[in-house]
A and B are shown apart, each in its own frame.
Chain A
């Protein structure tokens, strides 16, 4: 597979190795210099730059933001594919879709196509490494195994449930919260800007689920009902695209209890709308989702993510109030013109 320099030829419906994704990010900046910048916000264990694309219309003011990360778990290849698709989609639609243009004005999108870069590269090494999950930091002393589960490493009820302190385990949470540079990069970047984030989406596979905080069975987010309502709206939007069912719920209810997830950490920072997406499929192909399913998976996931993002945006920017006022104004004007009485 060779890297194609022209953006118009980048195939969003094939899986790309890390070198191609990095090139694609640079190309996005070249193609949309007025709305896209690359922000490097950390380094992986193996010293690679962790980068995100910051996408939004420049207003010169500090803006509210939407966070999306993909590829915390190396083997979940459909997730980085979705992040790339998402970027392509918002860049394509904002020029013709008034709602997306409005959102681009009001918020910035911070999209990390691959967070666990070392792990992702490792899964491309050969067929035997394809199902690697964790990052690639060496285990603690006396441990013959590599890797920490980054989605157990965040400072959110760290090390309590859904983990194993066997360092060879796939749910090993690390030596302490945010011990891993990849997790720390997120907590440093988002943590220092937490007040701007309306929404935090973290993309995984597989299972066809939309998970709301918290992973610990004894804790419930104060806005659980809102999260469930918005999540169910997203699942309905997903279903409308290709008829796929996504189950919505807190992780301990619909999947399993866990702790130290990025979603839980983000919610605890006060970011109100935080969700984990578990994309296709339901276990038939599991992590090796065929490339001919990339397009339909991305289309439905986009619809779901957009539902949440739109809700988060509208809740803050009172677009709905302005619209209602305009509507009522028109009605009253018309009533005035025709001489009809309202009472």
Chain B
């Protein structure tokens, strides 16, 4: 008899369209997010506003950082740019893979200091390395570049000397100077023998991206618009380069022109860099430099 009752109840239950096997509801764990307010019974869709702090100003994250949140990930990106300026090559390109932990603190009135543990990826050889980094973002008038110190285990382990030497020799002795445009092109394509120049564009851009970075920016290189080899008496190869940087927070594309050299012995050295005004800025003032 009891069995029949149970089955009858079940049959009744399955006929009700809005009964659900519940995944945990919002009310089950309101402590998960500091700003959340429990869902009210009337399912009001009004925004629940935080009432404690009225101020809208950007309170800088201090103390232990959530490695998935932007303060840590932006700082990690700065470390990436630093590592590329120091250790990058046409055959070694470094990208952030994961931030493991981070810490931030104010330093008197002079700026903010970060400490990060992260893993980076050598994009070309697809190997991962762990790194420790310290960053200092100075406060004060005008744009001052951050100071970065980072060390990674065995970053230089993979031997790229042979490839670097081959590239260097090829373009030291070529009859015509190389020139390439739009790396990658609109469809994301780069000719295989142009890839080292795309990498060089990224490395040279890394000096700019490092210099320009703050806690409120996130830079990536969007495209090499043009890279042209120049004649030079020096040992190094010399290039004129126009790159497009993407700044994530403002979503702007920023144009930079650079003069830089490269050799296996010296790596990338930026001789000159100049920010180009955006097209619309140029339209407004008819006089050009």
Contacts and interface: CB of A to CB of B under 8 A. Distances in A.
Interface of A: 14-15, 123-124, 127, 130-131, 133, 144-145, 149, 161, 164, 168-171, 207, 214, 217-220, 222-226, 228-230, 245, 247, 249, 253-256, 268-270, 282-291, 293, 311, 314-318, 320-322, 324-325, 328-329, 332, 336, 342
B79 to A, nearest CB: 13
A289 B184 CA distance: 9
A181 B281 CA distance: 27
A228 B68 CA distance: 14
B103 interface: no
Contacts of B20: 314-315, 318, 320-321
B192 interface: no
Contacts of A164: 250
Nearest to A269: B45
A145 B252 CA distance: 14
Contact of A222 (B26, B69, B220, B225): B26
Given A254-B68, A325-B13, A288 B187 contact: yes
Contacts of B16: 318
Interface of B: 3, 6-7, 10-11, 13-14, 16-21, 23-26, 28-30, 32-33, 35-40, 44-45, 47-50, 56, 66, 68-70, 73, 77, 95-96, 98, 123, 181-182, 184-190, 220-223, 225, 244, 246, 248-253, 278, 280-281, 283-284
26 contacts: A149-B251, A164-B250, A168-B278, A168-B281, A218-B56, A219-B47, A220-B36, A220-B50, A222-B45, A224-B35, A225-B24, A225-B28, A228-B33, A253-B70, A268-B45, A283-B77, A283-B95, A288-B185, A314-B20, A316-B18, A321-B19, A321-B20, A325-B13, A328-B10, A329-B10, A332-B3
B223 A131 contact: yes
A224 B28 CA distance: 12
B246 A219 contact: no
B220 A283 contact: yes
Main secondary structure of the interface of A (DSSP, over half): loop
A222 B21 contact: no
**Interface pairs A-B: 3 shortest CB-CB:** A290-B188, A283-B220, A320-B21
A321 B190 CA distance: 53
A291 B184 CA distance: 11
A175 to B, nearest CB: 18
A325 B14 contact: yes
B3 A224 contact: no
Nearest to A335: B3
Contact of B70 (A169, A225, A255, A285): A255
Given A226-B25, A311-B23, A127 B188 contact: no
Contacts of A285: 184, 188
Contacts of A133: 251
A291 B189 contact: yes
A170 B69 contact: no
Nearest to B55: A218
A170 B250 contact: yes
A218 B187 contact: no
Contact of B45 (A127, A270, A321, A336): A270
Interface centre among A171, A291, A321 (most CB of B within 10 A): A321
Given A219-B49, A223-B39, A127 B3 contact: no
A169 B250 contact: yes
